[in-house]
């Protein structure tokens, strides 16, 4: 049986997060949660209460700011926990607290069991010819950025270059990585602290950090450039559309394993519908 470890950075909506974890829970699934240090203590308490009987571990919290390195640091803490604690897993999957599965947990395990050890991460070389600004995303990497609270963003054009043999790649923030790739990333970070420091001053590093490391690695040939997420964007918006019941057909017809983002304070019926559909689906095991 394929064992999945879900790494979940969150900052709000403990009931929604706990609900997602319960939907993904199987005897072999494990969960590692990072709660933004800025969040109210009730967020962690609510997740703990809603997942009391499940194998959920919490890593040391830090502050996460939109566009900054906090999201990457949370994912790396999750990875470090898997390695240092000797967690048994075959795949690690990065989800946010506003994600939700489009398939039953067992069906997700079957998908990765048939994946042949491939990893899934949206990735493309920079500069990107279409989108990501006039410099195709290179401004995120080559300029020096400082992201702090209250939307503070300091940017200096310093013509920086990536350290070592890394080349710039970009893509979506969400990934599903086979264990050898996860362990490679952990070793790389331990052995190359200067590279991690470099990415602390990249804009939106969660869309560059992992891509640049894995696509320059000996395991790059195992990457399937797909996040396995259904995400709907409109125009040049900085954030994806919040999904609702009107998106059900598109989500379920996408073939993806997960979707984002959801907000039960705006539409709680969509998760009810996804749960009901999942309970009706029969799969061969």
The secondary structure of the chain as a DSSP string is ---EEEEEEE-S-HHHHHHHHHHH--TT-EEEEEE-TTS-HHHHHHHHHHTTTS-EEEPPP----TTSSHHHHHHHHHHHHHHHTT---SEEEE--TTEEESS-HHHHHHHHHTSTT-EEE--EESSPSSSSTTTTTHHHHHSEEEEETTTEEEEE------STT---EE--S-EEEEHHHHHHHHHHHHH-HHHHHHHTTSSSGGGTHHHHHHTTSTTGGGEES--SEE----TT-SSPPPP-GGGHHHHHTS--SEEE---TTT-SHHHHHHHHHHHH-----
Residue 280 is assigned to a structural domain of this protein? no
Higher-confidence residue: 158 or 3? 3
CA–CA distance from 156 to each of 65, 67, 145 (Å)? 19, 15, 7
- Of residues 71 and 283, more confidently modeled: 71
Residue 246 located in a structural domain: yes
Average pLDDT (217-227) is 96
Confidence of residue 156 (pLDDT cuts 50, 70, 90): confident
Asked whether residue 285 carries a pLDDT value surpassing 50, the answer given is no
The string of pLDDT tens digits covering residues 49-59 is 999 999 999 99
Residue 117 counted as domain residue: yes
| 71-97-273 Cα angle (round to 5) | 150
Q: How confident is the model at residue 199 (pLDDT cuts 50, 70, 90)?
A: very high
Domain of residue 92, residue span? 4-274
Q: Is the peptide bond before 127 cis (omega within 30 degrees of 0)?
A: yes
Judge whether residue 283 has pLDDT over 50.
no
pLDDT, residue 155, reads 84
The CATH number of whichever domain residue 41 belongs to comes to 3.90.550
Write down the pTM of the prediction.
Answer: 0.94
Task: Please check the confidence at residue 244 and state whether its pLDDT lies above 60.
Answer: yes
Mean pLDDT of 243-247: 95
Banded pLDDT at 151 (limits 50, 70, 90): low
d(CA 103, CA 281): 9
Stretch 265-283: mean pLDDT: 83
Residue 284 lies in a domain: no
Is there a domain that residue 279 lies in? no
Taking residues 227-234, report their average pLDDT: 94
Mean pLDDT of 146-157: 80
Average pLDDT over the chain reads 93
Within-domain flag for 223? yes
Looking at the domain assignment, is residue 282 inside a domain?
A: no
pLDDT over 70 (residue 27): yes
- Average pLDDT in the 137-159 region? 85
Domain count across the chain: 1
pLDDT of the residue at 284: 44
Report yes or no: 211 and 171 within 8 Å, Cβ to Cβ: yes
Task: Report if residue 179 sits inside a domain.
Answer: yes
pLDDT at 36 over 50: yes
Tens digits of residue pLDDT in 164-189: 999 999 999 999 999 999 999 999 99
Find out whether 168 and 208 touch, Cβ atoms under 8 Å: yes
Structure confidence at residue 267 (pLDDT)? 87
Local confidence band at 107 (pLDDT 50, 70, 90 cut-offs):
very high
């Amino acid at each position: 049986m394929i064992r999945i470890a879900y790494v979940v950075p969150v900052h709000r909506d403990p009931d929604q997060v706990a609900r997602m974890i319960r939907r993904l829970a199987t005897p072999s699934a494990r969960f590692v949660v990072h709660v933004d240090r800025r969040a109210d203590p009730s967020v962690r308490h609510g997740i703990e209460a809603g997942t009391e009987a499940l194998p959920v571990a919490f890593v040391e919290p830090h502050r996460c700011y939109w566009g900054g390195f906090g999201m990457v640091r949370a994912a790396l803490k999750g990875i470090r926990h898997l390695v240092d604690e000797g967690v048994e897993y075959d795949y690690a999957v990065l989800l946010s607290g506003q994600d939700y599965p489009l398939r039953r947990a067992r069906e997700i395990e079957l998908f990765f069991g048939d994946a042949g050890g491939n990893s899934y991460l949206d990735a493309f070389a920079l500069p990107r010819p279409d989108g990501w600004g006039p410099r195709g995303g290179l401004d995120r990497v080559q300029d020096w950025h400082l992201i702090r609270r209250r939307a503070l963003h300091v940017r200096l054009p310093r013509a920086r270059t990536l350290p070592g043999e890394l080349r710039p790649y970009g893509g979506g923030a969400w990934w599903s990585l086979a264990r050898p790739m996860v362990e490679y990333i952990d070793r790389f970070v331990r052995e190359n602290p200067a590279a991690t420091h470099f990415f602390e001053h990249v804009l939106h590093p969660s869309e560059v950090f992992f891509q640049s490391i894995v696509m320059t690695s000996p395991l790059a040939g195992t990457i399937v450039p797909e996040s396995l997420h259904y995400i709907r964007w409109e125009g040049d918006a900085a954030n994806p559309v919040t999904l609702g019941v009107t998106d059900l057909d598109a989500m379920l017809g996408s073939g993806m394993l997960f979707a984002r983002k959801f907000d039960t304070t705006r539409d709680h019926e969509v998760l009810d519908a996804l749960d009901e559909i999942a309970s009706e689906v029969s799969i061969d095991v």
